[in-house]
Amino acid sequence: SKKLLADVDCGVDDAQAIMLALAAPNVELLGITCVHGNTTVENVCKNTLRVLQACNKLEIPVFKGAAKPILGKRIDAGHFHGQDGLGDAPDPNAPALDLIQKEDAVSAMIRIVNENPGEISLVATAPLTNLALAVMIDPSLPSKLRGLYIMGGNTESRGNTTVCGEFNFAADAEAAYIVLNDYQCPIYLICWEFTCYSKLSWEFCDAWLAQDTDKARFMARIFRHSIEASQSERLQKEFVAGTGFVSCDSYAMAAAVDDSFIVESDQYPVSVELTGTHTRGMMVVDTVDLLKKTHKAFIVKKVDMEMFKQMMMAALK
Ligand code: BDR
Ligand code: CA
């Protein structure tokens, strides 16, 4: 079976990604590390436990990581995911936070990868602070990964957070820079524009949520806020090319779950802008090889959408 480790800022699409992984056959999710992002790291921990509870998988260890980016102030995405990060639909029976492991997320990441050299697919669907800290403490970490799957960055300088910055990269530009430069392992990038071009139709979402299961009812509750937010003028502008829902993080998870999910990708050296008047946090794609970097990342261009819909459906079964 495939061994996965997920680093999340458990908002609505992170929750969808986690549920997709939990439903996938032959996949073992060894742990979930939490980081600031869509909301505070405390909320992220709570949200992750709620998702695991909804799937009867509370035995999966959850670790608390960085509360803020390497430089500057923490930002969040409450306008989309709700202030609590999970649609502001609180659950009176939510699991208690004492279920969070005592070990911190960065130590856990380093330990789990070292215990399974060459076997772990690390899926990062959040600001990359934990991953950056981990490689600074253990520079050998990337060489022990099977692969790194990142939802983040952009390829057409379309931002969803700053003018040119995608949320996960803009929320910790230094961490994104460190990760793209120091993780010399296969890196698969699911970038913002790609997810926008690969929306799930609202018809699909209706059928998805209409499944008669507790998981579907849980998803319908936490999802409502983002569905409504998707209709806002700002998000209509953000969501380039047509209507539908963009479950960004689920694509990165699906790619880690099944190698045949990625149908087409380009290989380029990539980096992140750290200064600039409007461009801090923007991903830089070196198509002409001017950076003279030996390491190239896979920028995902096309995925198997039928497989994706099946995986999403199974997530709520
Ligand atoms: C990313 O930002 C977050 O709000 C989502 O969970 C996703 O990881 C999209 O830019
Ligand atoms: Ca996320």
List pLDDT tens digits, range 169-217.
999 999 999 999 999 999 999 999 999 999 999 999 999 999 999 999 9
Average pLDDT over residues 4-11: 98
**Look-up: residue for tokens 């505070």?**
40
% residues pLDDT > 70 (the chain): 100
How large is the ipTM?
Answer: 0.99
Catalytic annotation present for 289: no
Mean pLDDT, the chain, rounded, equals 96
Among 9, 13, 76, 84, the active-site one is: 9
List pLDDT tens digits, range 54-92.
999 999 999 999 999 999 999 999 999 999 999 999 999
Average pLDDT over residues 279-303: 96
**Look-up: residue for tokens 């937010």?**
229
∠ CA 258-316-306 to the nearest 5 degrees? 45
Average pLDDT over residues 219-247: 85
The band of 105, judged by pLDDT with boundaries at 50, 70 and 90, is: very high
**Look-up: residue for tokens 């060459």?**
118
The residue type found at 263 is V
What Rg value do the Cα atoms of the chain yield, rounded? Answer: 18
| Higher per-residue pLDDT: 244 or 133 | 133
- The answer to whether residue 52 scores a pLDDT higher than 90 is yes
Nearest atom in ligand 1 to 80's CA: 4
Spacing, Cα 13 to ligand 2 middle (Å): 6
Report the greatest alpha carbon distance in the chain: 55
Atom 10, ligand 1: residue with shortest CA distance: 167
Give the H/E segment covering residue 249.
Answer: helix 248-257
Rounded CA-CA distance 149/72 in Å is 25
Rounded to two decimals, the pTM is: 0.98
Average pLDDT over residues 285-300: 95
* Ligand 1 pocket residues where CB is under 6 Å: 11, 13-14, 38, 77, 125-126, 151, 160, 166-168, 192, 248-249
Q: How far is CA 160 from CA 153, 237, 312, in A?
A: 10, 9, 24
